[in-house]
């Protein structure tokens, strides 16, 4: 299928259904949207790093705004709770009327500010628009929708570029980019959107270097882009860094001149170090102990437990996957609201069956000869990221959750959406040139790839209806 056609289909569908998700999802009814918005809000005011009051880190926020956000969060899990359009409309349009501020700590206080730059830009753009159209004293909802919009536009823009750059798996990039869970995240305030989009871009660049018709060497622009993406992964969720293992094996053209390639990788590392210093110095000047400040007591104890009981932890890892497999499938494909609104199982099963067929067909139709070592490296990079997600949540989240704690027999907090950034890479391991030797099979595979948008449209319509029924009807 023509590249421009795939890009156009993705662009139109992501714009249409992204805007539907943006409007149909009530305020702060998305995972961690409250904390992400608060961080974007203070960054938009120029407060990049937290202050310290009474020995605690945090930011000053309007009390009325925080009270409204807390009120919305209390609706989590209340499936009978419905939202009133009139109430939200008036809240968005009427002056905020904030009269006092207080000091607050929330989950994203210590998050690197780069994670919320896009949403903060949306809020600042909203301030400009407010001056132009004479909106006095904009409310929290006014800014929320601008933050959501910029998040969505960034996601669509980066995925479109990724599809255009990638020499292979273009339809697979598009169908995963249109996955209900991914697009839902993109239409709310979340830094997961940034991570998904940038993972797709990094994968597309590496594929272009490795499988393009005329494989290109790692240019200065690609070096800078990959260096920046690597730093963002390190700063926000280091568990996605194993994707860069592909750079050590796939770019065959580069590896012919190994010394020059090592120099380019060194430049990439230099970019990472430079960006680290850029964000580190202001933190020190602000007398804030944010980056790499050391683990809290429970996390340190959990690390010690894993180190001394590695086989027990591996058993916990596999048993958790087994026990939560239904939830993992649902939260990968489509779990909306505050993790309390799932697609019907029939849609989950259909998607779970058809998506792999599209991905395997897409990569197999390329007729690429993927070496065994390359397949192994792909599998290792994907599994390392998945294993890292579980390990991070076991150390930093499970250790502090009531009912779990240090040495808990299961891992909590892992959601399937965390695995979306690795999905395009995973299909590289399933390339099968034998399939295209059978003409009938080849035609069926081509039909799957050429009509990927049908699956996306069905799933996105079903998701829109589920959100509508859950929150408004």
Q: According to the model, what pLDDT value does residue 216 have? A: 62
Backbone angles phi, psi at 257, to 5 degrees: -115, 75
Backbone angles phi, psi at 62, to 5 degrees: -60, 130
**How far out from the chain centre does Cα 3 lie?**
24
Say how many C-beta atoms besides its own lie within 10 A of residue 119's C-beta.
31
Mean pLDDT is lowest, of 12-16, 281-285, 352-356, 385-389, for 281-285
* 295 CB-side CA count, 13 A: 14
Strand bridging mode 51-53 / 56-62: antiparallel
Spatial separation of the C-alpha atoms in residues 152 and 331, rounded to whole Å: 19
Mean of the per-residue pLDDT values of the chain: 91
Digit-coded pLDDT (tens) for 191-244? 999 999 999 999 999 999 888 776 566 788 888 999 999 999 999 999 999 999
* Residue in this structure with the two tokens 């904390």, named with its chain if needed: 35
* Residue in this structure with the two tokens 């490296």, named with its chain if needed: 377
Domain range summary for the chain, segments of one domain joined by +: 3-471
DSSP string, 316-337: HHHHHHHHTHHHHHHHHH-EET
Q: According to the model, what pLDDT value does residue 215 have? A: 56
CB 383 within 8 A of CB 321: no
234 CB burial (10 A radius; 0-12, 13-18, 19+)? middle
User: 418: closest CA among 395, 392, 400?
Assistant: 392
3-state SS, 204-230, equals: HHHHHHHHCCCCCCCCHHHHHHHHHHH
Provide CB contacts within 8 A for 302, sequence distance 6+.
Answer: 394, 395, 396, 398, 399, 406, 407
Spatial separation of the C-alpha atoms in residues 308 and 460, rounded to whole Å: 46
Mean pLDDT is lowest, of 51-65, 133-147, 163-177, 211-225, for 211-225
Digit-coded pLDDT (tens) for 278-312? 887 766 655 544 433 444 688 899 999 999 999 99
CB 140 within 8 A of CB 72: no
CB 169 within 8 A of CB 2: no
CB 442 within 8 A of CB 449: no
């Amino acid at each position: 299928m023509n590249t421009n056609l795939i890009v156009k289909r993705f662009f139109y569908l992501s714009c249409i259904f992204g805007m539907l998700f943006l409007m149909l999802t009530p305020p702060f009814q998305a995972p961690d949207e409250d904390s992400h918005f608060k961080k974007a809000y203070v960054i938009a005011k120029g407060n990049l790093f937290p202050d310290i009051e009474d020995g605690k880190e945090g930011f000053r926020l309007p009390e009325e705004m925080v009270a409204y956000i807390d009120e919305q969060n209390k609706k989590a899990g209340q499936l009978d709770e419905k939202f009133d359009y009139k109430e939200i409309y008036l809240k968005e349009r009427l002056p905020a009327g904030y009269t006092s501020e207080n000091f607050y700590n929330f989950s994203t206080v210590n998050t690197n500010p780069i994670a919320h730059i896009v949403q903060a830009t949306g809020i600042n753009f909203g301030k400009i628009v407010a001056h132009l159209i004479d909106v006095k004293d904009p409310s929290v909802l006014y800014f929320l929708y601008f933050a959501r919009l910029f998040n969505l536009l960034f996601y669509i823009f980066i995925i479109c570029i990724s599809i255009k750059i990638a020499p292979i798996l273009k339809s697979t990039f598009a169908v995963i980019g249109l996955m209900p869970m991914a697009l839902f995240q993109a239409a709310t305030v979340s830094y997961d959107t940034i991570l998904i989009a940038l993972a797709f871009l990094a994968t597309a660049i590496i594929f272009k270097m490795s499988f393009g018709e005329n494989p290109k060497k790692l240019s200065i622009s690609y070096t800078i882009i990959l260096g920046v993406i690597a730093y963002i992964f390190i700063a926000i969720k280091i568990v996605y860094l194993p994707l860069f293992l592909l750079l050590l094996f796939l770019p065959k053209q580069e590896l012919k001149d190994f010394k020059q390639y090592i120099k380019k990788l060194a430049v990439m590392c230099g970019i990472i170090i430079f960006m680290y210093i850029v964000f580190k110095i202001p933190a020190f000047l602000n007398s804030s102990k944010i980056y790499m400040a050391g683990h809290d007591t429970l996390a340190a104890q959990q690390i010690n437990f894993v180190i001394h009981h590695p086989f027990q932890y591996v058993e916990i890892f596999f048993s958790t996957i087994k026990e939560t497999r239904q939830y993992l499938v649902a939260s990968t494909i489509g779990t909306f609201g505050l993790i309390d609104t799932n697609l019907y199982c029939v849609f989950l099963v259909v998607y779970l069956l058809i998506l792999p067929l599209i991905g395997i067909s897409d990569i197999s139709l390329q007729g690429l000869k993927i070496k065994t070592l390359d397949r192994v490296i792909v599998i290792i990079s994907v599994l390392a990221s998945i294993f890292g997600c579980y390990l991070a949540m076991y150390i930093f989240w499970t250790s502090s959750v009531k009912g779990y704690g240090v040495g808990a027999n299961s891992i909590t907090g892992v959601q399937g959406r965390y695995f979306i950034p690795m999905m395009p890479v995973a299909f590289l391991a399933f390339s099968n040139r034998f399939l295209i030797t059978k003409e009938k099979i080849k035609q069926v595979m081509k039909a799957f790839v050429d009509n990927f948008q049908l699956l996306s449209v069905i799933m996105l319509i079903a998701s829109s209806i589920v959100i509508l029924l859950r929150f408004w009807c």
